[in-house]
Amino acid sequence: MNFSLNHWKRGLALAALLTGTLATVRATGPGTTPGATPTGPPDSTSARILAAAAGASVELPDFAFGKSRQLGYHKLVLPGPQFLISDDPEYIRVPEAAVFREQVQPGTVRFYLYNVNGVKEPQKIDRKITALIKNTGSRPMRLQMLKYSAQPPSGDYLKIGRNGLADYFASQPSAKVRTVKPGQAVAIDEKWEQTTVKYDDLVHGFYEFLIDQPGEVTVLQTDPATPGPKALARNPQVLPGKSKSGAGRGIFGVSNYRVQPDSVFDTRSGAAEITVADGQRDPWVEGTASHTTETAVLKGNYGVIYDITIRWKSTDGRGLALLTRNARGGGENNLWCKAMATTVMVSPGLHPGGIVKLPSDKPTTRQEPEAVVIQVFAPKANGEEQTIHLTYSPPGASCLPTPITLVPVQMNAR
């Protein structure tokens, strides 16, 4: 995942790259009385946004990205499942080895699997990467999948990250309940037991499941013909982490956040941004890991779900567009941050609400002045307050942060 500038394939710069003058972008077009339609010629930014479908890419050369004021917000930790992530080391260079082993307690578990077949010496070979849970309790364990997302292994990490979030948001609990005997180990996702992983291909799974006995979760790599439980019985070594490869591994203390700006956004005040998962305004979540006595840090907050509520009103007659972009796309030093792709869930507006792939009209979005339209909202006739709900999670394989930009739009530009 893209958490470090030094990571050769995916690097996450901290938000210092985005700080600087937090100047308010001046609204285009004259101010009007509340509820009125702005007069004067429509601005090109509004026209381009209103002509785009939800999820579509738009070129906005007249919009000053990165100059919008940052909205302060209140962040609340919500109750959530135990949260596990396996992404350190991201590339598994040893033909048979474990990269994750943690104890879980009865209850709901969210598990993010993000590992790559990295075997290239003495030659590149096919492997299998699988995640197993062993029943460490004294009674049979019942295992039920509540949310399921698993993409075919591929070298197109951005596509996997976007589609993985879309499938996770859309998934529903399975009626199937599996039984695991005391001491027995089974694959959490049986798909991986039948899947061959080519060199440099990513295995990406995003799950929530329910168990009623304590267990031990292990992620390991082995040869395609060996069942995961058999490889686990050989007790493969747990590899040390790589400080410049992978977002982190372990059990983390936060799985869900609620985010709400400190005040009601008024279109009259001009464009603004909400930035989460940047490591500064929104610090990385912390946890524990069995391979170290130090605090585990999840660099990127990948897999954490953000419930964002935006209260807004229009006292100048303009509507409100939500955009996002690849804020790390420019500059020679950002070689591995040239594109971004993600998925969110959003309230209905001018476009239907629900799951929106970003972008939806092509594989990725590149760099400014290109942005992606999430949704557009019309103002109330009397300028009264409205509420927008947005479900966001940092997109795997994309550089962070991916700010949410609030842009006032002239509705007569359509």
Residues 319 and 198 in one domain: no
CB of 350 within 8 A of CB of 51?
A: no
Residues 278 and 378 in one domain: yes
Q: Please report the pLDDT score of residue 333 as a whole number.
A: 60
Q: Please report the pLDDT score of residue 243 as a whole number.
A: 64
Q: Give the tokens for residue 181.
A: 């005997």
Is residue 368 assigned to a domain? yes
Residues 366 and 390 in one domain: yes
Residues 109 and 47 in one domain: no
Q: Please report the pLDDT score of residue 414 as a whole number.
A: 76
CB of 244 within 8 A of CB of 292?
A: no
Q: Please report the pLDDT score of residue 328 as a whole number.
A: 87
Q: Please report the pLDDT score of residue 20 as a whole number.
A: 36
Residues 43 and 165 in one domain: no
Is residue 317 assigned to a domain? yes
Residues 173 and 26 in one domain: no
User: How many other CB atoms sit within 10 Å of the CB of residue 250?
Assistant: 23
Residues 93 and 62 in one domain: no
CB of 255 within 8 A of CB of 168?
A: no
Residues 113 and 225 in one domain: yes
Q: Please report the pLDDT score of residue 106 as a whole number.
A: 98
- The residues of the chain scoring below 70 in pLDDT are 2-42, 243-245, 330-335
**Residue pointed to by tokens 């009385």:** 33
Is residue 313 assigned to a domain? yes
* Cα distance between residue 146 and residue 394, in whole Å: 21
Q: What is the CATH number of the domain that holds 208?
A: 2.60.120
Q: Please report the pLDDT score of residue 33 as a whole number.
A: 42
Is residue 30 assigned to a domain? yes
Q: Give the tokens for residue 223.
A: 């040869």
Residue type, 356: V
- In the chain, what is the greatest distance between 2 CA atoms, to the nearest angstrom? 74
Domain total of the chain: 2
Residues 57 and 93 in one domain: no
Is residue 191 assigned to a domain? yes
Residues 382 and 321 in one domain: yes
User: How many other CB atoms sit within 10 Å of the CB of residue 148?
Assistant: 19
Residues 281 and 393 in one domain: yes
Is residue 175 assigned to a domain? yes
Q: What is the span of the domain harbouring residue 125?
A: 89-240
Is residue 406 assigned to a domain? yes
Is residue 296 assigned to a domain? no
**With helix as H, strand as E and coil as C, how does the chain read?**
CCCCCCCCCCCCCCHHHCCCCCCCECCCCCCCCCCCCCCCCCCHHHHHHHHCCCCCEEECCCCCCCCCEECCEEEEEECCCEEEEEECCCEECCCCEEEEEEEECCEEEEEEEEEEECCCCCCCCCEEEEEEEEECCCCCEEEEEEEEEEEEEECCHHHHHHHHHHHHHHCCCCCCEEEECCCCEEECCHHHHHCCECCCCEEEEEEEEEECCCEEEEEEEECCCCCHHHHHHCCCCECCCECCECCEEEEECCCEEEEEECCCEEHHHCEEEECCCCCCCCCCEEEECCCCCCCEEECCCCCCEEEEEEEEECCCCCEEEEEECCCCCCCHHHHHHCCECEEEEECCCCCCCEEEEECCCCCCECCCCEEEEEEEECCCCCCCCEEEEEEECCCCCCCCCCCEEEEEECHHHC
Residues 160 and 45 in one domain: no
